[in-house]
Structure 1
Amino acid sequence: MANTTKKRRQLSIETKLQILESVDTGEKKTAIAERFNIPASTLSTIIANRHKMRNGIEKFGPERKRSRSYKNDELDRKVFEWFTEVRSANIPLSGSILQDRAKTIALKLGIDDFHASNGWLSRFKRRWNLTTLRVCGEEAAVDVAVVEEWKEHLPSLVAGYDPKDIFNADESGFFYNLLPDSTLATKGEICHGGKRSKERLTVLFCTNSDGSEKLKPFVIGKFASLRCFKHVKKLPCRYGNNKSAWMTAILFREWLASLDAVMGGKNRKILLFLDGCTAHKTSDMKLRNVKVVHFPPNCTSKVQPLD
């Protein structure tokens, strides 16, 4: 026996609007159902939901295939209200921050099946006419000729060293209270950045060229004795401190002397590439197992791996 069940198909609101117009002209329902190839029950449902459908057309346009539930409409509105409030304070917002906030609002509304996916974010931005603007950003000029000349000289610098014995060290600032440097904003909005937090840690990373050895990070904070260290006997990193949480010549020399001693204990000779930071001046240090080579000035963004 052949299966005569019609496969259910999804109608756009535009098609449903055409169906309603046919109903309003007095056309017989059987003829309408046959012309649009839909069951009589589907036609009845469309007629019953005509007011809800027209509201959806006014808000979202006729291309949408299904009307949104009241809870989802409320979620959409509340997320945009929060977005508007935060942006009015010149606080940058990234897409991930907006997604996290949307999840929180959804839970408060009792919407358990909301996932705030990237697709949802894309549709939300399109619905509310949002775009991404950069708050600030600047790229330092690099002397390409100097970079190329240094690269030509590089083989002679690393001659005699295995890749595992060629290291690079560099600091990175960890601004743990810093807001994003780009933000979602309504199209045409003038983008102003607020005051940027300067609370930071400095972390020195060091690894060899083949990635087989990564030294413990050297973390520098403001305070020597932190409350969170009270019952900690061993840290997964080296820790130092000064009032600005920056790398200083004293701290760097202590770290470098320690590295030299460790390599001496392993009977290893290594090559360490450093940038020209003032704290990295080591010409007067007597190192037995670490040879320091500095990158040319203003070129680290092109030649330093850890940059």
Structure 2
Amino acid sequence: MSAKRKSMTSPGGSTKKQRKAIDLEMKMKIINDYEAGKKVKAIARDLELVHSTISTILKDKDRVKEAVKALTGFKAIITRQRKGLIHEMEKLLAIWFDDQIQKRMLMSLLIIQAKAHSIFETLKAREGEESTETFTASHGWFQWFRRRFNVHNRSISSEAASTDVEAAEKFVDQFDPC
């Protein structure tokens, strides 16, 4: 029996390119270059991307611009545009999360999940009986949320957050040589 397809690998290794996510900053650079008069083929060559990828980004440039406007403080990687209450909840949660980090508040998985569920229920109540969406703030959802909004190492450990700052300052004052 003869093979109908050519092998995906060559004697030197795999020839299949790896997929890579393109962040909003790169997408805006592509859009700005195109709007400045640069050809799609030239943009693709400069960024080492496929022509069709550039064309797809340019086709969806209005949605990319909207995503940039709604961007939080994170360097978000958005590979597909989401819609609905869960998407809105995640945007609001990302803003809340960034605010909590700036305030150096204690963060844990349970607190974040509870806040996500609370925001979702508030948005659902605002929509009324029209919305049939359901949301479970599971561990899996949180892992995907972390990837989408790049919040990997932004939390404060419980030990650092629970320290007594006033007692520490008094201790330092006692041993200050000046």
User: What range is the shorter-chain TM-score in?
Assistant: 0.3 to 0.5
Instruction: State the TM-score, normalizing by the size of structure 1.
Output: 0.31
Which is greater in Rg? Answer: 1
Instruction: State the TM-score, normalizing by the size of structure 2.
Output: 0.48
Structure showing the higher strand proportion among its residues: 1
Structure showing the higher helix proportion among its residues: 2
Higher relative contact order at CA 8 Å, sep ≥6: structure 1 or structure 2?
2
